[in-house]
Amino acid sequence: MAALVFHGILRSTVNLLSPLYISTCLIVDMLVPIAFKNYKPGKREIVLAGDLGGTKINIALYQPGENSFSVLRQQSFHSKDYTSLTDVIKQFAGNDKIPGTICIAVAGPVIDGKVKITNLPWELDSSKISNELNTQVVFINDLEANAFGLAALKKDELFNLCEGSEEQKGNIGIIAPGTGLGEAGLYWDGRYYHPFATEGGHSAFASRTALDVELYNWLSKQYKYICWEHVVSGMGIHNIFRFLTEEKKNEIPGWLEKELETEDPSAVISENAIAGKSEVCVQAMELFVRYLATESSSLVLKYKATGGLFLSGGIPPKILPLLQKEKWQQLFFESDRMEKLLQQTPVNVILNEKTPLLGAAYYGAYNV
């Protein structure tokens, strides 16, 4: 089986012991060495890649090159304005020929090419859509795509929260709060990384403090099952804010109430917290950051992700002023006997919001 391996150290040949790899490899200056299973020398077909979330759909045409992918055309669509992915792809393509491979990163578990989008009322079947478009359509979980997208990242597209140990190798974890909460991992085989999807964002929320218990009890009146997505996501920010105002009776200024009625609540809350204009917004985001740090450290421990943790998704890059290193590390390291392991784990925020889209392009070109 042929393979494409991206590695951060340039060399002319690569000797791989595993039968899954051969020594014919494309070596590029990459931060994370990702293994791909289906690289063919000279393969340069255009790929249509998509990132389908509960809020928007990003689509782009990519031309694979020697050392990178070139964007030929890209466009964003509002997910709720459409009832069919096929219609979105056709509108994007227009009169142009649809490429031979389409890879779409989707927010939900992909099983046998089928997926029910988590925060959108869509049920998709790759075989059906392949027939409709007369081309090969592949779905990949959006966080798995995010993991494959690490192959495209540059150092200046990261914001460091914990330096960790450069000598420490091991698995990698990704946590991505946005419309929902996504989590994924990359298994380290001793030489290269292999991305895998999870649905860890839907695992049960665990309270640590008396205030957490109060929040849990309040949420349980609205949801049958309380998961991390209910507190570490856009909806989570709004849930925490409502708990502080409805249950804990914190006052909402009139001007803030008007903004919440006309704009995205999570954006309003986080922006006013950053600006320091509202005490209740500051409190809400302090809780959000604590929950993000808590679940992040749990993810590292569950994966033994000593190779690093990446914070992705739509929210972390927008709230960098709230992710102060000293405070983050205090929250992230809080794990009793495993504190040393967490201290050795590098933590970075991914600043490139197109990482899942790039990951879908790499997967479509070299892993299908």
**Which CATH number do you get for residue 193?**
3.40.367.20
Judge whether 161 lies within some domain: yes
User: Cα separation of 53 and 82, whole Å?
Assistant: 12
- Are 204 and 284 contained in the same domain? yes
- Are 145 and 262 contained in the same domain? no
- Are 95 and 48 contained in the same domain? yes
Mean pLDDT of the residues in the chain: 89
- Are 339 and 358 contained in the same domain? no
- Are 214 and 303 contained in the same domain? yes
**Residues 6+ away with beta carbon under 8 Å from 355:** 146, 149, 150, 152, 153, 312
Proportion of the chain above pLDDT 70, given as a percent: 91
Kindly state the helix (H) or strand (E) to which residue 181 belongs, with its residue range.
strand 181-188
Average pLDDT over residues 322-332: 94
| Per-residue pLDDT tens digits for 31-71 | 888 998 887 766 678 999 999 987 889 999 999 887 778 99
Judge whether 7 lies within some domain: no
- Are 66 and 96 contained in the same domain? yes
- Are 77 and 160 contained in the same domain? no
User: Cα separation of 313 and 302, whole Å?
Assistant: 20
pLDDT score at 221: 97
- Are 347 and 358 contained in the same domain? no
Number of structural domains the chain divides into: 2
- Are 81 and 145 contained in the same domain? yes
Per-residue pLDDT band for 20 (boundaries 50, 70, 90) equals very low
Judge whether 246 lies within some domain: yes
- C-alpha 317: how far from chain center: 12
pLDDT score at 1: 41
| 121, burial (CB in 10 Å: exposed 0-12, middle 13-18, buried 19+) | exposed
Q: Could you list the residue range(s) of the whole structural domain that residue 362 is in?
A: 41-149+354-366
pLDDT at 105 over 60: yes
- Are 318 and 178 contained in the same domain? yes
Among the listed residues 251, 260, 247, the one whose alpha carbon sits nearest the alpha carbon of residue 213: 247
Judge whether 16 lies within some domain: no
> Could you tell me the CATH number of the domain that includes residue 132?
3.30.420.40
- Are 343 and 251 contained in the same domain? yes
Per-residue pLDDT band for 292 (boundaries 50, 70, 90) equals very high
Judge whether 331 lies within some domain: yes
Judge whether 8 lies within some domain: no
pLDDT at 11 over 70: no
**Residues 6+ away with beta carbon under 8 Å from 288:** 231, 232, 236, 237, 240
**pTM (2 d.p.):** 0.89
Judge whether 181 lies within some domain: yes
- Are 126 and 174 contained in the same domain? no
pLDDT score at 55: 81
Per-residue pLDDT band for 246 (boundaries 50, 70, 90) equals very high
Place of tokens 């964003």: 76
Average pLDDT over residues 85-101: 94
Q: Which amino acid is at 26?
A: L
Judge whether 4 lies within some domain: no
Contact 309, 346 (CB under 8 A): yes
